[in-house]
């Protein structure tokens, strides 16, 4: 039995498509070609139109499902039952979704509702012997594993930056769909959405991250981190030491109990590179570190290690970038 | 307030886990610690019961040597432990874990369940959402603040732009994060007291389940291989003065087509 593959598109705050969803769509298209299976997308939300039209930049077809409940309720529970019913009704075989907070919540719920297995945090997905093969980086990057589903079905959560999104030459089409009726899960009300100063795009999705640690020495130092991040069009990350000190919100923390990131560039300023931090960033394609201690552990796994004072080197990098830009 | 905390014994990240011939981690031979993210859930549960009275039960599905690790968590101040352990569970997939923990929770009394954001041994932060779904409980994830009151719970859920204030009736399942606060170190008194605290074990048949429904024999996913990642290239070390070092950095980024 060969079913279609489904990509769940996630709506960003602001209404557009989350970057990770374009990457997931790119992966799904590739394995769909290999498997000879069609791929479709779905975007569900109070206002799915814009994200769905962006998703068909990467897929030939996407559903847009208007779900008013998602506006003032926790999204995963509001959409999971109807989505599970649609998946069953259409006889779809596999679901791919970004390993974002909402994507994980939804994957867990769909797994329970459909009785399907889940392979998590994929860094690459192939297709072999009638099903997806999923590559994962586990134990803080010390091991790469390959896994498959035992049966015909499965759900895959995909890490941001697993691939570079490739748009289609010609955009696909969006169809407005209504989810089949299904027994609801308990509703969770959103009483208020609070915006905090300093919050930015999710760091998991950033292609370039400039991160600061204890060596940055305070909020003023994070100004320097931010300036370099802005110059590189990147996001700001941090170690737990910097978060615990209250210099930057927890949402920016990278590591074992923070976010796991896989950017093209990770530029670490005043970070020692402790194992609990390393597990969150060591799959970055390129690691550059600035540290005044030549023996800091990050020097053992950085690609480029500048031994020096970040308060002198970071502004010099900003100046050099500006000079070359002319 | 009766709180159940889902805690998983995991291989110590700072150690080196041993692999079995089929590529799975040899959990019996690897030193296990309490999953770091679950410690935040335990800490939050202890703070809540200290403020409002009540008790904290730790629930784990793990190999038979887990009580050793569970004692470390009991020493923080939890009331008791429940361990689901069964040879048939070896090689379980996350769907099995979800079903087994949900079945164990059906036999426990609680107002609130707390879980960690994910497990450090390859978990993807999905088990808790599945458990809430199977039990028909409100699910409130990524909590930076948990405030139960008058039969309801309010949670600050971390969002990309700040946080969302969520509200639902109890009983409910809440996913804890580090933002809830640093876990305490067990005191000597706590360590002594933990020795006599009960850790009840449950087999699959105690939960009304068997190996045809959950466990390794019916795993939905299969590990087909594992390997060490390619070694990174040697580090280029730069010790020049700032302006010269900055030129090195920018040249390096340009050569790798990052800028
Ligand atoms: C269970 C557990 C979970 C954890 N989870 C995480 C996690 O998710 N993320 C995380 O990051 N950590 C985590 N940690 C903490 C981790 O062990 C380290 O303590 C932390 O990463 C250290 O942060 P740091 O590198 O900023 O600070 P430090 O280790 O103090 O390093 C600061 C570095 O800055 C350098 N420096 C100082 N001044 C300058 C200067 N002017 N110019 C250049 N360099 C300078 C110093 O040489 C030093 O190497 C966890 C720990 C535990 C026990
Ligand atoms: N075997 C287990 N025993 C107890 N709790 C677990 C187990 N597996 C997962 N959990 C809980 O579910 C959370 C998410 O796990 P995971 O989906 O594996 O990342 C963990 O932080 C725990 O709170």
Residues A136 and A218 in one domain: no
Is residue A95 situated within a structural domain? yes
d(CA A123, CA B79): 40
Are residues A125 and A252 part of one domain?
no
Looking at the structure, tell me whether residues A74 and A115 fall in a common domain: yes
CA distance, residue B37 to nearest chain A CA (Å): 6
pLDDT on residue B121? 86
| A254 and A107 assigned to the same domain | no
CATH of B2-218, one of 3.40.640.10, 3.30.70.141, 3.10.20.90, 3.40.50.620: 3.40.50.620
Confidence of residue B230 (pLDDT cuts 50, 70, 90): confident
pLDDT value for A25: 98
CATH number at residue A314: 3.40.50.1220
The pLDDT tens digits of the residues spanning B216-225 come to 999 999 999 9
> Which of A176, A193, A215 is the endpoint of a domain?
A176
Residue A150 lies in a domain: yes
Binned at pLDDT 50, 70 and 90, residue A326 comes out as confident
Are A33 and A144 found together in one domain?
A: yes
Q: pTM to 2 decimals?
A: 0.94
Give me the mean pLDDT over the A7-22 stretch. Answer: 95
Mean pLDDT of B34-53: 97
| Tens digits of residue pLDDT in A67-106 | 999 999 999 999 999 999 999 999 999 999 999 999 999 9
For residue B171, say if its preceding peptide bond is cis, omega within 30 degrees of 0. Answer: yes
Percent of chain A past pLDDT 70, that is, above it, reads 98
| Mean pLDDT of the A127-152 span | 91
- Residue spans of the domains in chain B: they are 2-218
pLDDT attached to residue B15: 61
Percent of chain B with pLDDT over 70: 93
SS3 A144: strand
ipTM over 0.90: yes
CA distance A7 to chain B (A): 18
Give the model's pLDDT for residue B32.
87
DSSP A251-312: GGBBSTTSB----SEEEEES----HHHHHHHTT-SEEEEEES-TT-GGGGT-SEEEES-HHH
Same-domain status, A207 and A270: yes
Query: Do the domain assignments include residue A188?
Result: no
Mean pLDDT taken over chain B = 94
Confirm or reject contact between B213 and chain A (CB < 8 A).
no
From ligand 1's centre to the CA of A274, what distance in Å?
A: 6
Residue A186 lies in a domain: no
What residues have CB less than 8 Å from A170, skipping those under 6 apart?
A: none
For chain B, say whether A144 makes contact (Cβ under 8 Å): yes
Of chain B, the percentage scoring pLDDT greater than 90 comes to 85
Confidence band for A3, pLDDT divided at 50, 70 and 90 = confident
Q: What is the pLDDT of residues A272-320, one digit of tens each?
A: 999 999 999 998 999 999 999 999 999 999 999 999 999 999 999 999 9
Q: Give the 3-state secondary structure of residue A232.
A: coil
Report how far residue A57's alpha carbon sits from residue A276's, in angstroms, rounded to the nearest whole number.
38
Residue A187 domain-assigned (yes or no): no
Please identify, by atom number, the ligand 1 atom nearest to the C-alpha of residue B39. 1
- Tell the residue number behind the tokens 């429904």, with chain if given: B213
Are residue A20 and residue A112 in the same domain, yes or no? yes
Q: Which band of pLDDT confidence, cut at 50, 70 and 90, is reported for residue B95? A: very high
Average pLDDT of the segment spanning B29-37: 85
With the most atoms of ligand 2 within 8 angstroms of its CB, the residue from B56, B93, B123 to mutate is: B123
- Using an 8 Å CB-CB cutoff, list chain A residues near B242: 308-309, 312-313, 315-316
Q: Is the CB of A157 under 6 A from ligand 1?
A: no
Q: Which helix (H) or strand (E) covers residue A94, if one does?
A: strand A94-98
For A92-128, b where at least 16 C-beta lie within 10 A, e where not — what string?
Answer: bbbbbbbbbbbbbbbbbbbbbbbebbbbbbbbbbbbe
**What CA–CA distance (Å, rounded) separates A248 from A233?**
19
Whether residue A291 sits in one domain with residue A169: no
- The pLDDT, as a whole number, for residue A196 is 81
Is residue B207 within 8 A of residue A274, CB to CB? The reply is: no
Q: What is the pLDDT of residue B44?
A: 98
Can you list the alpha helix ranges (DSSP code H) found in chain A? 19-35, 49-55, 75-89, 101-114, 219-231, 240-244, 275-281, 310-325
Among A108-117, A307-316, B15-24, B58-67, name the one with the lowest average pLDDT: B15-24
What is the DSSP secondary structure assignment for residue B218, as one 8-state letter?
A: G
Per-residue pLDDT averaged across B177-184, rounded?
Answer: 94
User: What pLDDT does residue B107 have?
Assistant: 97
| Confidence band for A202, pLDDT divided at 50, 70 and 90 | confident
- Would you say the CB of residue A255 lies under 6 angstroms from ligand 1? yes
Token pair recorded at residue B244: 């010269």
Q: Does residue A195 form part of some domain? A: no
- Clarify whether residues A109 and A247 are in a common domain: no
Give the per-residue pLDDT at B18. Answer: 64
User: Would you state the pLDDT for residue A105?
Assistant: 98
- Full domain range(s) for residue A108: 5-176
Give the pLDDT mean for A46-55. 97
Q: What is the mean pLDDT of residues A179-191?
A: 97
Residue A44 lies in a domain: yes
A216 and A294 fall within a common domain: yes
Say if residues B207 and B96 touch (Cβ distance below 8 Å): no
pLDDT for position A201:
67
Separation between Cα atoms, residue B212 and residue B54, nearest integer Å: 37
pLDDT at B204: 98
Q: Which atom of ligand 2 is nearest to the CA of B131?
A: 12
- Whether residues A232 and A148 fall in one domain: no
- Whether the predicted pLDDT of B207 surpasses 90: yes
Query: What's the pLDDT tens digit per position in A216-273?
Result: 999 999 999 999 999 999 999 999 999 999 999 899 999 989 999 999 999 999 999 9
In a domain? residue A191: no
Closest Cα to residue A160, out of A101, A95, A115? A101
Asked if A104's CB is within 8 angstroms of B160's CB, the reply is no
CA distances from A191 to A106, A186, A197, B168 (A): 21, 16, 20, 10
Q: Would you state the pLDDT for residue A113?
A: 98
Task: Work out the average pLDDT over A136-164.
Answer: 92
pLDDT of the residue at A1: 47
Residues A154 and A270 in one domain: no
Residue B23 pLDDT > 70, yes or no?
no
Q: How many domains does chain A have?
A: 2
Q: Which domain CATH number covers A130?
A: 3.40.50.620
Query: Does A215 contact ligand 1 (Cβ within 6 A)?
Result: yes
Cα dihedral sign, A96-A99-A103-A109: positive
Q: Give pLDDT, residue B51.
A: 96
pLDDT digits (tens, 9 = 90+) for B145-164: 999 999 999 999 998 888 99
Contact A293, B239 (CB under 8 A): no
């Amino acid at each position: 039995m060969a079913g279609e593959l489904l990509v769940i598109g996630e709506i960003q705050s602001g209404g557009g498509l989350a970057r990770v969803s374009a990457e997931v769509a790119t992966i799904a298209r590739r394995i769909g070609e290999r498997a000879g299976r069609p791929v479709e997308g779905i975007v569900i939300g109070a206002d799915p139109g814009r994200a769905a039209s962006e998703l068909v930049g990467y897929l030939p077809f996407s559903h847009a499902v208007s779900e008013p409940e998602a506006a003032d309720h926790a999204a995963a529970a509001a959409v999971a039952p109807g989505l599970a019913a649609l998946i069953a009704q259409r006889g779809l075989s596999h679901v791919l979704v970004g390993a974002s907070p909402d994507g994980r919540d939804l994957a867990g719920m769909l797994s329970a509702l459909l009785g399907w297995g889940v392979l998590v945090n994929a860094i690459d997905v192939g297709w072999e012997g009638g099903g997806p093969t999923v590559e994962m980086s586990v134990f803080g990057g010390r091991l790469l594993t390959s896994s498959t589903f035992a049966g015909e079905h499965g759900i895959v959560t995909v890490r941001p930056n697993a691939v570079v999104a490739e748009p289609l030459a010609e955009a696909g089409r969006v169809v407005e769909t209504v989810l089949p009726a299904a027994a609801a899960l308990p509703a969770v009300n959103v009483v208020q959405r609070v915006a905090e100063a300093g919050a930015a795009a999710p760091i998991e999705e950033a292609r370039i991250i400039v991160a600061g640690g204890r060596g940055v020495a305070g909020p003023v130092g994070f100004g320097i981190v931010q300036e370099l991040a802005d110059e590189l069009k990147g996001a700001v990350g941090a170690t737990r030491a910097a978060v615990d000190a209250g210099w930057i919100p927890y949402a920016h923390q990278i590591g074992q109990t923070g976010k796991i990131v896989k950017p093209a560039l990770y530029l670490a300023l005043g970070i020692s590179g402790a194992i609990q931090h390393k597990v969150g960033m060591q799959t970055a394609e390129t690691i550059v570190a600035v540290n005044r201690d030549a023996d800091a552990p990050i020097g053992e796994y950085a690609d480029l290690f500048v031994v020096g004072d970040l308060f002198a080197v970071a502004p010099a990098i900003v100046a050099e970038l500006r000079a070359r830009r002319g | 307030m009766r709180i159940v905390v889902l805690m998983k014994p995991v291989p110590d990240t700072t150690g080196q886990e041993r692999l079995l011939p089929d590529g799975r981690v040899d959990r019996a031979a690897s030193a296990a610690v309490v999953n770091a993210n679950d410690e935040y859930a335990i800490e939050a549960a202890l703070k809540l019961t200290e403020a409002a009275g009540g008790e904290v039960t730790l629930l784990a599905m793990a190999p038979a040597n887990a009580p050793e690790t569970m004692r470390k968590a009991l020493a923080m101040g939890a009331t008791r432990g429940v361990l689901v352990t069964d040879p048939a569970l070896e090689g379980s997939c996350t769907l099995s874990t979800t079903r087994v923990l949900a079945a164990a929770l059906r036999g426990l009394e609680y107002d609130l369940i707390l879980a960690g954001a994910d497990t450090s041994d390859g978990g993807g932060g999905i088990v808790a959402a599945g458990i809430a779904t199977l039990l028909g409980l409100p699910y409130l994830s990524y909590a930076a603040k948990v405030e139960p009151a008058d039969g309801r719970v309010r949670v600050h859920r971390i969002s990309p732009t700040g946080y969302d204030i969520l509200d639902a009736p109890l009983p409910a399942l809440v996913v804890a994060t580090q933002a809830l606060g640093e876990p305490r170190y067990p005191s000597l008194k706590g360590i002594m007291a933990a020795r006599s605290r009960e850790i009840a074990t449950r087999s699959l048949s105690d939960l009304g389940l068997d190996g045809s429904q959950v466990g390794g024999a019916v795993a939905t996913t299969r590990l087909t291989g594992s390997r060490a990642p390619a070694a990174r290239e040697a580090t280029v070390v730069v010790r020049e003065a700032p302006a010269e070092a900055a030129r090195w950095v920018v040249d390096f980024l340009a050569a790798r087509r990052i800028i």
